[in-house]
A = this chain, B = another copy of it.
Amino acid sequence: MNENNIILPEPTLRRLPWYLAYLEILKGKNVENVSSTQISRALSVDASQIAKDLSFLNIKGKTRIGYEVKALIEALSDFLGFTRTHKAYVIGAGSLGKALIRDSGLSNYGLEIVAGFDVNENVISRTDLGVPLYHIDHIYDVMEENPASIAILTVPAESAQESADIAIGAGIRAIWNFTPYRVKVAEGVVMANTSIYAHLALIFNRLEALKG
């Protein structure tokens, strides 16, 4: 897995899952080989860009034949880390937090949610989520028993920074921020923002503009 130690550009990391999704579709249709030109037409990404993105992987396409679909799927899944298990905590078991805990689909991509944390005793006492819930005060103990490297942040915006700080203090190395608050982390801590409210704002604005 050492080839993974290189820091890939964000746009490449955005496109590689597109290629993977398209390749899975081809595999479902029993297609054996694919050229970057074909991928290019299907996804409206420049063919030279695709060749460049795929050059990060230890896999080469063959002239006239292209890439072997199955081999490229394996190489991509592995390269993207989807075949290895990464343990995560959900911090904030409100409606979105509970929804993500229940979304078993994430485990197909290498994310295993092993615990949830909250401050509300009524929430913590729930046992129907398939994952144990704890008070955030117990994160140090849980980290010893069942360590995780990723914290999925689904707390209210006003608790986002404090919750991130606590999680990082307990040993978390990456924050996946679903709150609309712009959490700050020290260098060396991984930060990814999934800005669903920004995407909602984008959709609403563009819909209004269409009404023009």
Residues of A whose CB lies within 8 Å of any CB of B are 1, 4-8, 10, 13-14, 16-18, 20-22, 24-25, 28, 43-45, 80-82, 84, 86, 94-96, 98-100, 102-106, 109-111, 149-150, 157-158, 160, 173-174, 176, 179-182, 184, 188, 190, 192-212
Q: Is the interface of A mostly helix, strand, loop or mixed?
A: helix
Question: Separation in Å of the A66 CB from the closest CB of chain B?
Answer: 19
Verify A209–B6 contact, CB threshold 8 A: yes
Q: Give the 5 A-B residue pairs with the shortest CB-CB distance, closest first.
A: A81-B204, A99-B99, A21-B157, A21-B180, A4-B208
Q: Are B100 and A201 in contact (CB under 8 A)?
A: no
Q: Which residues of B contact A82 (CB under 8 A)?
A: 197, 200-201, 204
| Docked-complex contact A190 and B203, CB < 8 angstroms | yes
How far apart are the CA atoms of A21 and B156 in the complex, in Å? Answer: 9
Tell whether, in the assembled complex, residue A194 and residue B190 are in contact, meaning their CB atoms are under 8 Å apart. no
Instruction: Give the complex CA separation of A100 and B160 in angstroms.
Output: 21
Which residues of chain B come closer than 8 Å to A100, judged between CB atoms?
A: 99
CB < 8 Å neighbour of A18 from B6, B180, B200: B180
Q: Are B102 and A102 in contact (CB under 8 A)?
A: yes
Kindly identify which residue among B5, B13, B206 contacts A174, using a CB–CB cutoff of 8 Å: B206
Write the nearest CB–CB distance from A3 to chain B, whole angstroms.
Answer: 9
13 other A-B residue contacts (CB within 8 Å) besides A13-B201, A81-B201:
A4-B204, A13-B202, A17-B201, A18-B182, A21-B157, A22-B181, A22-B182, A45-B182, A98-B102, A110-B200, A110-B204, A173-B207, A174-B206
